[in-house]
């Protein structure tokens, strides 16, 4: 017998889980997602979230409250009389009476190995810290920030050159399967919960624009992790003079390389850049307003000269 559930999510990352739950035969009585935001070429059009669009394509009612401060909004949630709420990257804090507003509570799919990387940006922070392993966890939500007991854990290796975008896509698929498994066990009354350990807590703060500039004074491994942890969005960047004009250039892919020199110095025509110790090679870059280019194509257009300093 299928569960009667409410799904709560917003970005692309959440869509796979929504579709997997629908395919598993659960009765999704409502989808909650962030309200439409300004978008389009000029930022004038209101754009529905990826989850909003997916829910409409599945014929599921969509609700977009700004928050749950109003008692009426919380009551509307309870009135669905759902068995369970499933939350994946929703983006709103949920009050206790929403978390407890279904028969079996609320379960969250979180992209880290809790208690490491609680919070908003676990995928990016794991890579930026040089972690070699992460995963998806299904936990029962409580009033804390990602502090609830864990039901299912699925580990995923982080390759040495894996970007946040690549890890996002892998965890998205793994997470969808884990949630479906959790709901099947919950339906049978066989979903054990394990309290998170008190040691090893780290918080994955939201990425701030002020931390996206590349510091070539760091060790090469740290610079490489910074680049791949912010690729493809928002993108780590440096400034360089091109055709007499200082321009911002994003780095979308890099690798560790041999070489030494003053940090930020271009060591060869393949865009090997000296760091505080060691060097990295820039593999894919993007000028402001331009399209992503492999290094060879970029160097054919507006080359950075050997010996030039960037930063």
Q: Is 115 annotated as a binding residue?
A: yes
**Tokens 């409580």 sit on residue:** 142
Q: Is 231 annotated as a binding residue?
A: no
Note whether 216 and 264 are within 8 A (CB): yes
Q: Is 113 annotated as a binding residue?
A: yes
| Residue 293 token pair | 């280019």
DSSP string, 125-144: HHHHTT-SEEEEEEEE--SS
- Measured CA distances, 11 to 21, 93, 250 (Å): 16, 16, 23
Sheet holding 4-9, edge to edge: 62-63, 27-32, 4-9, 84-88, 106-110, 133-140, 150-157
Q: Is 186 annotated as a binding residue?
A: no
| Residues 6+ positions from 235 with CB-CB distance below 8 Å | 212, 250, 251, 252, 286
| Residues 6+ positions from 207 with CB-CB distance below 8 Å | 121, 124, 230, 234
C-alpha 34/C-alpha 66 separation (Å) is: 7
| Residue 4 token pair | 């009667």
Name the percent of the chain in helix, strand, coil, to the closest 5.
25, 30, 45
C-alpha 53/C-alpha 131 separation (Å) is: 34
| Residue 80 token pair | 């669905």
Residue positions in the annotated binding site for (6S)-5,6,7,8-tetrahydrofolate? Answer: 112-115
């Amino acid at each position: 017998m299928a569960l009667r559930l409410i799904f709560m999510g917003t970005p692309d990352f959440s869509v796979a889980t929504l579709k997997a739950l629908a395919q598993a035969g659960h009765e999704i009585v409502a989808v909650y997602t962030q309200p439409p935001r300004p978008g389009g070429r000029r930022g004038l059009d209101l754009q529905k979230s990826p989850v909003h669009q997916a829910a409409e394509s599945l014929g599921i009612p969509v609700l977009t409250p700004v928050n749950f401060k109003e008692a009426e909004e919380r009551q509307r949630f309870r009135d669905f009389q759902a068995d369970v709420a499933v939350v994946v990257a929703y983006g709103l804090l949920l009050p206790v009476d929403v978390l407890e507003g279904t028969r079996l509570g609320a379960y969250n799919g979180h992209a880290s190995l809790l208690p490491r990387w609680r919070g908003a940006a676990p995928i990016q922070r794991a890579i930026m810290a040089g972690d070699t392993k992460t995963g998806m966890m299904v936990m029962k939500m409580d009033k804390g920030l990602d502090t609830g007991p864990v039901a299912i854990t699925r580990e995923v290796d982080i390759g040495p050159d894996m970007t946040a975008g690549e890890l996002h896509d892998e965890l998205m698929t793994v997470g969808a399967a884990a949630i479906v498994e959790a709901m099947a066990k919950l339906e049978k009354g066989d979903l054990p919960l394990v309290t998170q350990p008190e040691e090893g807590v780290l918080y994955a703060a939201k990425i701030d624009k002020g931390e996206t500039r590349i510091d070539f004074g760091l060790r090469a491994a740290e610079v490489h992790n910074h680049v791949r942890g912010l690729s493809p969005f928002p993108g780590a960047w440096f400034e360089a003079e091109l055709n007499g004009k200082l321009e911002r250039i994003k780095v979308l892919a890099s690798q560790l390389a041999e070489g030494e020199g003053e940090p930020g110095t271009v060591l060869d025509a393949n865009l090997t850049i000296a760091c505080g110790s060691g060097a990295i090679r820039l593999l894919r870059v993007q000028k402001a307003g331009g399209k992503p280019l492999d290094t060879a194509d970029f160097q054919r257009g507006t080359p950075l000269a050997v010996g030039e300093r960037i930063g």
